[in-house]
Chain A
Amino acid sequence: MQIRTTNAHVRDAAYAMPAALFMALLFALPLFSVLHQSLQQENGGGLTIQAYAKIFTTPLFLRVAYTTLEVSISATVFSLLLAYPIAYFLAKQSPRRRALYMILVLVPFWTSSLVKSFSFMVLLGQSGIINQMLGAFGIAPVKMLFNRFGVMVGMSHFLIPFFVFPILTSLRSQPLELAKAAAIMGAGKLRIFLRVTLPLSLPGVMAGALLVFILSLGFYIIPALLGGRQDMMFANLVDFYTREALNWPMASAVAVLLVAAAALAAMLLSKVRGGSSILSEEGH
C-alpha cells in the first residue's frame, strides 16, 4: 500500500465535495428542517417536545407503531420468499434473456397504487378470477383482499424488484466452480442450494431486506387500499396531521420517528453483515 500524502487526502476530499454538498442540501437540510418543525409548539412559539410526548403517551400511536413493524417485517419476509426464486431463475438465464425478464420484473413500477388495487380486485376479489375458479369446484370464496393478506400482496408487488436486484447480483457473483465442485463431490441439487448457493447469497439477501424493510415502514397508501381496518400504518398519521389536522409539528414528529426507525434498522443490519464477511476478495 502506498503512503498517502496529505495532499492526496485533501485532493480526495475536494473531489468528494460536490457530492457531499449535494447530499447536504437535498437530504440533510430538509431532514433538519423537519426535525426543527417537530420541536415547535402547535401554535407557534419556542421549542418543545410536546409532539413527541403526545406520541409516546397515546395508545393509538403505540398500536399503530406496532402494526407498522409487524407489517413491515411480514412484507419483507413475504417479498423475500417471492423474490428469491425470481432472482435464482434470472441468475441462470443468458444475458439477453435476463435483460428481457428484467423488464417484466420492473413492470410493477409503472402502475399506480390505485390502479394496482383495482387490478387486484379483479384477480383476488370476492367475485374475482380466483374465487370464480374456486367456485367452479364448489369451494367457498376465500377472502384475499382487504385483510393482511391483501396488504402483503399489494406491498410485495411493489417491493419485489428491490429485492430481486441485490439477490441477483449476489448470486451472479458466485464462481460457477463452487457448484460444480460440490456436484462432483456428490452433492445433489438441493444440498448444493442449501449449503453453497444460499449461504453465499446472504449478503444480497441482507442488503435487499434492509432496503425493503425501510421502504415498508413508510407505506400507507397500499395498506389503506388493500388492507382491513386493523392494518393502519404509521405514515398514515403523517398524512392525517399534514393535510387534515394541519398540525405540522405532530406530522414532523411522526416522520422523524419513522426515519429513526429506519436508521436503527440500518445500524442493526450493518452489525450483522460486518460480523460475517462471507465472500473473500482474494481467490487468486
Chain B
Amino acid sequence: MTDSSGAKAAMIEISGLRKDYGSVVALHDTELSVPTGEFLTLLGPSGSGKTTLLNLIAGMASPTRGRIVINGRDVTEVPAEKRGLGMVFQNYALMPHMTVSENIAFPLEIRKVPRAEIRRRVAEVLDLVRLPHVGDRKPKELSGGQQQRISIARCIVYKPDLILMDEPLGALDKKLREQMQLEIRRIHKELGITMLYVTHDQEEALNMSDRIMLMNARRVEQIGTPDQLYFAPRTQFAADFIGASTLLDATVAETGEPALLRLSASESCRVRLHSAAPVGTVGKLLLRPEALRLVQNGQVTAGHNVLHGHLDNTLVTGATSKHFVTLDNGATLAIQELTDPSTTRLEPGLRVQVSWPPETGRFLEN
C-alpha cells in the first residue's frame, strides 16, 4: 500500500501515546511511525518502557492518551483479539496440551479456515521454519529453540499484518540465540511481514534490525538505523548503551571544522562537531575501541589525535585483542584491534600513545 508520494505507507502510526498507572508514568508521550515490512527493535534496559509500548500496541493495555493506528485502522479502542496481530513470547506460550500441529492450527480454527486448508498451511509453515516432521509431538518434547520456531510458525500461519516479539530469545543459550537471530531475519526477509522486536540486548538489536528505537526512562532516546545509533549516537546514554565505548570528559575549546576539545590541562584533540555547541560547552568525547590505535615506535599518522598513557593490560581473544590503557590524565580507555602475533603482546606498564583520526571521535553534550 503506497500513498500518493509513492513512499511505502506506514504499518504502525503512533501519536501522543502515553500510559499512566495512577500517578506513575509508564510511558511518556511517544510518536512512532513504522513503514510496512520494517524490522524495528525496541531496545532498552529494564524499566525503559519498551514492554509497556509493546503491550499497548498489542492491545493488552489501554493507553491513557494517544492514538494507535495499524494498517490504516485506528485500533486504540479495539480489544487485542480483534487487532489481527501476531505475538511471540519469551516462554513460547505454546499450549502444552495440544500437539505442534494443533497449536499452529489454533488461530486458523478461530478464523474458520476449512480443515483441508488448515492442514496445508500448517505443513507449509512448518517447512518454512524448517521443522517439517514435528507436527504430532507435544511442545514439551521439543527443545527451546524448536519451540520458539513453532511459536513463530503459529504467528505467521495466519498472515498477520504485524508480528510483535517480546524478548523471544531470552531463554536460549548464546549459540542458539545467534542461530535464531539469523533464522528470524531469514523469515522476515522471506515473508516481508512488519516486525516489532523488543530486547535489552544491544548486539541482538544491531544484528537484526532495520531500525532501532532506543528507549530510556520510559521515553524514546533515539530512533535510527543500527549504523546511525552506533556511529552517531546523540546522547551519552545512547553512546554508552550501544556498543563498547570510552567516554572522556571534554570541553569545547574552539569551534570550527574540526573543533578543538580540551580533555585535560595538558591535552586536547580535534573532533568534528555535529551541533552548534559554543565554546565552553561541557560534555564527553565518545571513542569506540576499534577506532583507536596503539602507536608503537612513535609512528603517529599526521593529523591524528594523540594521547599519552601507559598500558595496564592486554586481553587476546583469538582474532581480536583489547588493550586497556590508563591515560596520563587518569582516565582509562580500551583499544580493540585485530591480533597480530608479532606486535600484539606487550608488556604491562609500557609507555604508549593512543591515536585516532578526528572523524571517528564524537562529542556529546551533557
Query: Which residue of chain B has its CB nearest to the CB of A200?
Result: B97
Partner of A186, one of B60, B81, B97: B81
Which of B138-146, B187-195, B231-239, B352-360 is the interface stretch?
A: B138-146
Contact between A186 and B111 (Cβ–Cβ < 8 Å)?
yes
Question: Interface digits, A231-253 against B, CB 8 Å rule (1 contact, 0 not)?
Answer: 00000000000000000000000
Q: Is the C-beta of A283 less than 8 angstroms from some C-beta in chain B?
A: yes
Q: Which residue of B lies closest to A176 (CB)?
A: B93
- For A185, list chain B residues within 8 Å (CB): 81, 86, 106-107, 110, 154, 158
Complex Cα distance, B82 from A284, in Å, reads 30
In A175-232, the 8 Å CB interface with B consists of: 175, 177-178, 180-188, 191, 195-196, 199-200
Contact check, B86 vs A184: say whether CB atoms are below 8 A apart. Answer: yes
Residues of A within 8 A of B147 (CB): 284
Q: Number of residues in B with C-beta < 8 Å to the partner? A: 33
Which residues on the A side are within 8 Å of B111 (C-beta)? 186
How many residues on the A side are at the interface (Cβ–Cβ under 8 A)? 24
| Interface set, chain A 138-196, CB cutoff 8 A to B | 175, 177-178, 180-188, 191, 195-196
Contact between chains at A177 and B96 (CB < 8 Å): no
In contact, A184 and B106 (Cβ under 8 angstroms): no
Q: Which of A180, A188, A196, A280 contacts B140 (CB 8 A)?
A: A280
B125 CB, min distance to chain A CBs, angstroms: 14
- Whether a CB of chain B sits under 8 angstroms from the CB of A278 is yes
Q: Which residues of B contact A175 (CB under 8 A)?
A: 91, 93
Residues of B within 8 A of A183 (CB): 60, 79-81
Docked complex Cα distance between A282 and B146 (Å): 13
A181 vs B80: C-alpha distance in the bound complex, in angstroms? Answer: 10
**Interface readout for B147-187 with A: 1 if CB under 8 Å, 0 if not?**
10000001000100000100000011000000000000000
Tell me if A49 is interfacial: C-beta within 8 Å of chain B.
no
**Distance in Å: Cβ of A136 to nearest Cβ of chain B:** 42
Of all chain B residues, the one with the shortest Cβ separation from A185 is: B107
A-B contact count (CB 8 A): 77
- Asked if B85 is at the interface of the complex by the 8 Å CB criterion, the answer is yes
User: In the complex the two chains form, is A177's CB within 8 Å of B91's CB?
Assistant: yes
**A47 interfacial contact with B, CB 8 Å:** no
Please report which residues of chain B, range 62-101, place their CB below 8 angstroms from some CB of chain A when the two chains form the complex.
79-87, 89, 91-93, 95-97
Asked if B43 is at the interface (CB within 8 A of a chain A CB), the reply is no
The answer to whether B93 touches A284 (Cβ under 8 A) is no
- From B84, B86, B93, B107, name the one whose CB has the most chain A CB atoms within 10 angstroms: B93
Distance in angstroms between the alpha carbons of A177 and B154 in the assembled complex: 14
B298, chain A: closest CB distance, angstroms:
55
Answer yes or no: B58 CB below 8 A from chain A CBs: yes
B139 touches A181 (CB 8 A): no
Return A265 CB to nearest CB of chain B, in Å. 24
- B95: which A residues are within 8 A, CB to CB? 178, 182, 195-196, 200
Identify the closest chain A residue to B79 (Cβ): A183
A178-B95, A185-B107, A186-B107 as given contacts; A283 in contact with B140, CB under 8 Å: yes
The distance from the CB of A94 to the nearest CB of chain B, in whole angstroms, is 15
| Interface-central residue, A180, A188, A278, by most chain B CB under 10 Å | A180
Q: Which residues of A contact B138 (CB under 8 A)?
A: 280
A188 CA to B81 CA, complexed, in Å: 7
Q: Write the nearest CB–CB distance from B59 to chain A, whole angstroms.
A: 8
Closest to B157 in A: A185
Residues on the A chain within 8 Å of B140, using CB: 280-283
B positions within 8 Å CB-CB of A: 58-60, 79-87, 89, 91-93, 95-97, 106-107, 110-111, 138-140, 144, 147, 154, 158, 164, 171-172
Q: Which residues of A contact B (CB under 8 A)?
A: 175, 177-178, 180-188, 191, 195-196, 199-200, 278-284
11 contacts between A and B (CB under 8 A): A180-B80, A183-B79, A184-B164, A185-B158, A187-B110, A195-B106, A278-B96, A279-B96, A279-B97, A283-B140, A284-B147
Q: Which 3 A-B pairs have the closest CB atoms?
A: A280-B140, A181-B93, A177-B93
New A-B pairs, 11, CB < 8 Å, besides A177-B89, A184-B81: A178-B95, A180-B80, A183-B80, A184-B83, A185-B106, A185-B107, A187-B106, A187-B110, A195-B95, A279-B96, A279-B97
